[in-house]
Amino acid sequence: MSDDATETGPERHWRTALAEGRILLQRARASGTVFFPPRLMEPRTGDADWDWIEASGMGTVHAVTVIYPKPPEPPRAVVLVDLDEQVRLMSEVEGIAAEDIAIGLRVRARIGERGGVPLLLFDVAA
Amino acid sequence: MGGQFPRGQTAIAGLATFGLGECPGWTTIEMAAKAGQLAVADAGMRMGEVDALFICLPDDILAGLSFAEYLGLSPRFTDCNRTGGSAFMSHVATAATMLAAGYIDTALIAYGANQRSGGGKLSTPVGSNAWEAPYRPLFPASSYALAASCHFHEFGTTRRQLAEVAVAARAWANTNPEAFAKGPLSIDDVLAARMLSSPISVKDCCLVTDGAAAIVMTRTDRARDCPAPPVPVLGAAAATWHNAISQMADLTTTAAAESGPRAYAMAGVGPDDVDVVQLYDAFTINTLLFLEDLGFCPKGEGGRFVENGAIGPGGRLPVNTNGGGLSCCHPGMYGLFTIVEAARQIRGTAANQIADVDVALAHGNGGALSSQATVILGSAATI
């Protein structure tokens, strides 16, 4: 990764890729550690020598909470997903009742959109 | 060289609370100033002797400057540290080291908020970051709920055990004249409460109240000349491992597992020496996590530890003896109130006074279990 100041910051790069249909992660060359959200350098080590990689999209629900808004708005779940690349992120799992989402559920990433903005979402893995 | 602390060289010489519960007609800075005035008077000092200010207010990110102006002081040092509700523990650490170094002579640490009279909802300039906000978690309740879901999954913790925390807090509050939420509260009441963000129900959440608190710190040799017994600061340590809940490495272990041992090492005490414990209970799960991370029970045992009223009146460990954020008061940021209650327990003036308190622990939490900070106070006999 060059230090060229004409490039955008890593976050803009990530969002541009998402809009193009790619889910990116960063992997430090020396340690092999994958990290997210996008950063200038590897957390802890400060190693700035890293590559963008594409996520497999597969993950596992690590934590789940069901939010109960005032009716008639239905309950909805917010999850933390551990991607197989060992990074954690917040998201939602669609196509399943909120209360049926359990820790350990295997999920697959999908790029959806809300309000015209691309958004990383998950479906139950087949 | 890191990790040094001037154990016992500084002390809380004055303390006060003001307007706990409902305090209509007062602004946040008026409340903080009133608590400050009372704390300075409690220390037998004049406001003009204060040469360092430590404050954060929910509605003013430059509160230190506003507070200096309001009081008409020109402090040697002004600190608006904002590590969430734990900021006040960091204020104590900074004040203690600066006092011991002779950089300042008299520190006033204050907080005030009119969250209940001013709207009745938690008012905070803080929210979810750009990676979490699109999924609309309730901030901050869903963050704590996600941590609780992991604790349930990994250790078999139950809603009934969380309810024990709320019930114990209410029992303490019921005999504290200052506490806002009073009246009977049973485990079944908590279990029947409206679910907010599972497994957190509305009865697992802290109150939204008004309230102000302040402490005055000075060097212990000077504090001995003040009207009330000095409350020496034995240790103060802060730790932060993440901000957003999605970046918390292990959702069942907080940075209290670092701040606690560092504070114990400074103080030369361990969990077995602590006579009374004040924990920032923004949600019931906090109390379990902090009891574990601060060494009062093994990791994962928090739920079983609190069963059968173990942390309530007459239990095995007195925790949150004022009623905590769950039932005493929670004006947006609660950390300073744990310090005041811990100091009152050392002085022997708490509403629910525990016998023979020599060591009291006050633990603050900020963000989404993000900032953890521990202060250990002692009696004169400990130094």
Closest by Cα among B95, B116, B97, B117 to B106: B95
Q: Does domain A58-124 have CATH number 2.40.50?
A: yes
Measured between CA atoms, the residue of chain B closest to residue A115 is B134
Q: Confidence band (pLDDT; 50, 70, 90) for A7?
A: confident
Percent above pLDDT 90 for chain B: 95
Distance of CA B158 to the CA centre of its chain: 25
Taking only Cα atoms into account, the Rg of chain A, rounded to an integer number of angstroms, comes to 16
- CB contacts of A62 in chain B (<8 Å) are 150, 251
pLDDT tens digits, one per residue of B140-195: 999 999 999 999 999 999 999 999 999 999 999 999 999 999 999 999 999 999 99
Tell me which residue in A64, A65, A90 faces B132 most closely, judged by beta carbons.
A90
| Residues 34-53 in B contacting A (C-alpha not used; CB under 8 Å) | none
pLDDT tens digits, one per residue of B201-244: 999 999 999 999 999 999 999 999 999 999 999 999 999 999 99
Handedness of CA B322, B327, B329, B334 (dihedral sign): positive
Q: How many C-beta atoms lie closer than 10 Å to residue A3's C-beta? A: 7
Q: What per-residue confidence (pLDDT) applies to B118?
A: 82
pTM across the whole model: 0.97
Cβ distance A64 to B146 less than 8 Å, yes or no, reads yes
Cβ distance B134 to A67 less than 8 Å, yes or no, reads no
pLDDT tens digits, one per residue of B94-109: 999 999 999 999 999 9
Cβ distance B195 to A62 less than 8 Å, yes or no, reads no
Q: What per-residue confidence (pLDDT) applies to B1?
A: 74
What tokens does B310 get?
Answer: 């173990």
Name the residue ranges covered by the structural domains of chain A: 10-54, 58-124
What's the ipTM? 0.96
pLDDT at A5 over 80: no
Cβ distance A88 to B247 less than 8 Å, yes or no, reads yes
- Full DSSP string of A42-88: -TTT----EEEEE---EEEEEEEEEE-PSTTSPPEEEEEEEETTS-E
Q: Across all residues in chain B, what is the average pLDDT?
A: 97
Q: How many C-beta atoms lie closer than 10 Å to residue A20's C-beta? A: 10
Q: Confidence band (pLDDT; 50, 70, 90) for A3?
A: low
Chain B contact present for A55, CB below 8 A: no
Q: Confidence band (pLDDT; 50, 70, 90) for B121?
A: low
What tokens does B66 get?
Answer: 């506003």
d(CA B107, CA B98): 9
Chain A contact present for B120, CB below 8 A: no
Q: Does domain B10-120+207-382 have CATH number 3.40.47.10?
A: yes
pLDDT tens digits, one per residue of B27-81: 999 999 999 999 999 999 999 999 999 999 988 999 999 999 999 999 999 999 9
Name the residue ranges covered by the structural domains of chain B: 10-120+207-382
d(CA B273, CA A46): 40
Q: What per-residue confidence (pLDDT) applies to B190?
A: 98
pLDDT tens digits, one per residue of A105-119: 999 999 999 999 999
Identify whether the C-beta of residue B285 lies closer than 8 Å to the C-beta of residue B148: yes
Q: What per-residue confidence (pLDDT) applies to A11?
A: 97
Q: What are phi and psi of B35, to 5 degrees?
A: -60, -40
Q: Smallest CA–CA separation between B146 and chain A, in Å?
A: 5
Q: Smallest CA–CA separation between A66 and chain B, in Å?
A: 5
3-state secondary structure of A37: coil
| Residues 149-178 in B contacting A (C-alpha not used; CB under 8 Å) | 149-150, 153
pLDDT at A66 over 60: yes
